[in-house]
């Protein structure tokens, strides 16, 4: 159902600033819209995004309904060591998606 796209460079030099781009599939229903029958559509959004580099949190975002559907988040981090960069999205109705990418730092 839910799927995430992430863009992390495979290799980087130690100390290099790398750009990370993430995209996750989610409607981000605001809770302010009404269906064709006039009943309000309940809110269903991703509330938090966390990025950890080898288990250490390096970036976090708190999202609100004003983030467009299929949230796109781009940020940067310093390539410190080889390992895994993990991404986690959590939200309403128990939404949780994990994704990870490995990076080789030399």
Partner 1 sequence: MGPSSRREFLLAAGRLAAGVGLVSVVGVEPARATPAAMEEAIRKVVGSSRVNPGRVKIDLPPLSENGNAVPLAISVDSPMTEADHVRAIHVFTEKNPQPNVVSFHLGPRAGRASVATRIRLADTQTVTAISELSDGSFWSASADVVVTLAACAEDP
Cβ atoms < 10 Å from Cβ of 85: 21
Q: Which stretch binds partner 1 (CB under 8 A): 3-11, 65-73, 84-92, 96-104?
A: 65-73
| β-bridge mates for residue 18, sequence order | 77
- Kindly state the tokens that stand for 9: 């460079």
Cα dihedral sign for 58, 63, 67, 71? positive
Site mask for partner 1 (CB under 8 A), range 18-37, x = bound: x-----------x-xx----
**Residue range at the interface with partner 1 (CB under 8 A); choices 6-14, 73-81, 84-92, 95-103:** 73-81
| 53: contact with partner 1 by CB under 8 A | yes
Is residue 80 at the binding interface for partner 1, with CB under 8 A as the rule? Answer: yes
């Amino acid at each position: 159902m839910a799927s995430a796209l992430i863009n992390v460079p495979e290799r980087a030099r130690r100390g290099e600033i790398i750009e990370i781009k993430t995209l996750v599939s989610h409607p981000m229903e605001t809770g302010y819209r009404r269906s064709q029958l006039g009943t309000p559509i309940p809110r269903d959004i991703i509330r938090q995004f966390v990025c950890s580099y080898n288990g250490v949190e390096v970036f976090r975002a708190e999202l609100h309904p004003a983030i467009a559907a299929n949230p796109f988040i781009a940020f940067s981090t310093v390539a410190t060591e080889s390992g895994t960069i993990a991404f986690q999205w959590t939200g309403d109705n128990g939404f949780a998606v994990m994704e990870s990418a490995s990076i080789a730092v030399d």
